[in-house]
Structure 1
Amino acid sequence: MKKIINNPSHVVDEMLEGFAYANSDLIKRVPDTTVIVKKSLEKGKVGLVSGGGSGHEPSHAGFVGKGMLTAAVAGEVFTSPSPDQVLEGIRAADQGEGVLLIIKNYSGDVMNFEMAAELAETEDITVKQVIVDDDIAVEDSTHTNGRRGVAGTIIMHKLLGAAAEQGSSLTELKQLGDELVKQIKTIGVALTPATVPEVGKPGFTLDSDEMEYGVGIHGEPGYRRESLKSSRAIADELIAQLKKEYQWAQGESFGLLVNGLGATPLMEQYLFINDVREKLEQEGITIKFKKVGSLMTSLDMAGVSMTLVKIKDDKWLEYWSHPVEVVGW
């Protein structure tokens, strides 16, 4: 294992310290916690809190700031933050109008965020939640009841963040989030596994000429392993799976996110989205907004994921273009 670290047990704490120092113009770390909160809070606005295990950077702290999240809570690598840590995030994000939790669908995350919400209610902080389950690769997987929450969470941060800044109420944000969850779907492919620092070895193995469709962002199993294919062939496979889910018709409108999983150069991501564009044009699909970048990563995993969101309301386009001041966007 080759990594630029000190003690593997201190990776998350030292990473958060460095993140807060490097971006002190936008965010700050709540002392003695794993919470990153935006520097300037706006009273009278709903707070948005997300988070989860570390190792997915820039998620989630990279999306804290004006126009997106109010606070993010980090757990250990690939491990949910504790209820007490999440409670600190809720307290930090509360601006008097309640807090919405954006939770990826993993058993530990759901349990701990829900426990924190119950604790916050005893402190008279109104909390609602949205659970993101966008990964269509497998129905049930390691640490998951139902589908996993992956890169579609970033789209939730963007659209809900804009709506919150524009003054939507907690109830309105909950309704919007629940509708978005239905329309956001993701599928990915891994070329190499990730190595957790404290474990010191890859979480699974792939031969040098193999890839696996549908691997989760913690290395959970996918749905098929085969010989390495071209970018165009990978795009064809991922789009075929998404088409099966959406049952789309020509002329329908979507937003598109191509996400690098950590060790995939931008050159390859841009090449891949070009292949995606050509295939979607053949399908008669209109892309209304798009984004490319490594936004929901899996440490040093090589691969990409592709997320689509079906546009059900033109207001979503306005939310997408709403300006933000965050590190990761």
Structure 2
Amino acid sequence: MKKFINRVDDYLAESLAGFAAAHADLVTLNVDPVYIMRKSLKPGKVAVISGGGSGHEPLHGGFVGYGMLDAACPGQVFTSPTPDQMMAAAQAADTGAGVLFIVKNYSGDLMNFEMASELCEMPNATVLVNDDVAVENSSFTTGRRGVAGTAIVEKLVGSFAESGADLEACRAFGERVAGRIASMGVAFSSCTVPAAGRPTFTLGADEIEIGVGIHGEPGRRRAKFETANAIADELLTAIVQDLKPAADAPLLVLVNGLGGTPLSELYLLYNAARTWIDGRGLNVARSQVGALTTSLEMAGASITLCTLDDEMTRHWDSPVHTAGLRWGM
């Protein structure tokens, strides 16, 4: 295993210390229990909080800041944060309007966020993200997995909360957004969890995993290596069959890198996706290309489509100032 690392047991603590020092203008780091907090909270605003296992950066800590999250709870690599982290973050972030948790559909995340929700004294609500169309169930989930679409939910709901919406309105908006998102990914290689010290799975030199999960969970099938156009066709066919967008529906297209794919290849994949979408008379209104929801150093990418309406488009375009996303300010 070759990684920038001192001791495996210190991997997360040292990474978070570096993140907090690099972005001290945006965030503060609480170490016991661990959570990342927006440096300047807005009184009377619904606090938007997410979290999950580390290894998916910039999700979630990289999205703490103006227009997105107020706090994020990082667990160990690919391991859910604990209820005490979530409760402490909620108590610190709540400024009187309650707390909205955004949770990816993984068994550990669901269990621990539900426990924290029940124990929190302030009003709170939860939005569940389950955008992966690759498989219905996996070793980590009952139902569909939450993957790169989570970044879209956090951006739109974060902006909605920033505008002054109350807790119930934020929950309802978040559920509407989550219901309009579908994603699917492909892996060219595995990743190595530091504590394991070896790749999570093995692919042959000419093999890819279609529909891979962000923790390396198996997808729909193991396949021979294909062209970018063929991969885009398979991913988008599954996504559009699930999402069923109207021909005139404005689409947000996200091409997301899984950690080990050069940006030039992500743009090439976006070109393939855009050509596919245009060829079917669908309407690309917004696009985002980059690594927003990664899987350590896994080579591969995912494609996400979100059907926008005017309100959602306005909140996508609104200013955001975080370590991982920044525009309009």
**Shorter-chain TM-score range:** over 0.9
1:259 counterpart SS class: strand
The Cα of 1:93 is off from its aligned counterpart by 1.4
Q: For residue 33 of structure 1, report the CA deviation from its aligned partner.
A: 2.5
1:321 counterpart (295, 306, 317): 317
Alpha-carbon distance, 1:31 to partner: 3.8
Task: Indicate the residue corresponding to 1:210 in structure 2.
Answer: 207
- Corresponding residue for residue 288 of structure 1: 285
Q: In structure 1, the residue corresponding to 2:320 is in which secondary structure?
A: coil
Q: CA–CA distance in 2 between the matches of 1:92 and 1:301?
A: 34
| SS of residue matched to 2:226 | coil
**Cα deviation 1:112-153 (Å, max 9, x = unaligned):** 0111111112xxx11100010000000000110100000000
1:288 Cα deviation (Å)?
Answer: 1.2
Which residue number in structure 2 is paired with residue 17 of structure 1?
Answer: 17
**Contact 2:253–2:288 (CA under 8 A) maintained in structure 1:** yes
Contact 2:181 2:243 in 1 (8 A): no
The answer (yes or no) to whether the contact 1:16–1:34 under 8 Å persists in 2 is: no
Q: Report the Cα offset of residue 243 of structure 1.
A: 1.9
Aligned residue-pair number: 325
Look up the match of 1:264: 261
The structural deviation recorded for 1:242 is: 1.2
* Unpaired runs of at least 5, structure 1: none
State the match for 1:51 in structure 2.
Answer: 51
Identify the residue that residue 8 of structure 1 maps to in structure 2.
Answer: 8
Q: Residue 120 of structure 2 aligns to a residue in which SS?
A: helix
Q: How does 1:1-329 map to 2 (within 5 A)?
A: 1-121=1-121, 125-311=122-308, 313-329=309-325
Q: Which moved more, 1:85-94 or 1:138-147?
A: 85-94
Deviation at 1:250, TM superposition (A): 2.6
1:147 and 1:197 mapped to 2: Cα distance?
A: 26
Q: Secondary structure at the residue paired with 2:193? A: coil
Q: Is the 8 A contact 2:104 2:147 kept in 1?
A: yes
For the 8 Å contact 2:245–2:307, the answer to whether it is kept is no
Distance 1:134 1:192 in 2: 22
How far apart are residue 253 of structure 1 and its match?
A: 1.9
| Per-residue deviation, 1:208 | 1.2
SS in 2 for 1:30: strand
CA distance in 1: counterparts of 2:299 and 2:199, whole angstroms: 12
TM-score (norm 2): 0.97
1: CA distance, partners of 2:131 / 2:227 = 25
Instruction: Tell me the distance in 2 between the aligned counterparts of 1:300 and 1:274.
Output: 23
Contact 1:63–1:327 at 8 Å: present in 2 too? Answer: yes
SS in 2 for 1:187: strand
State, as a whole percentage, how many aligned pairs show the same letter: 50
Report the more deviating stretch, 94-103 or 176-185: 176-185
Q: Which runs of 5+ in 2 are unaligned?
A: none
Instruction: Give the superposition deviation at 1:284.
Output: 0.7
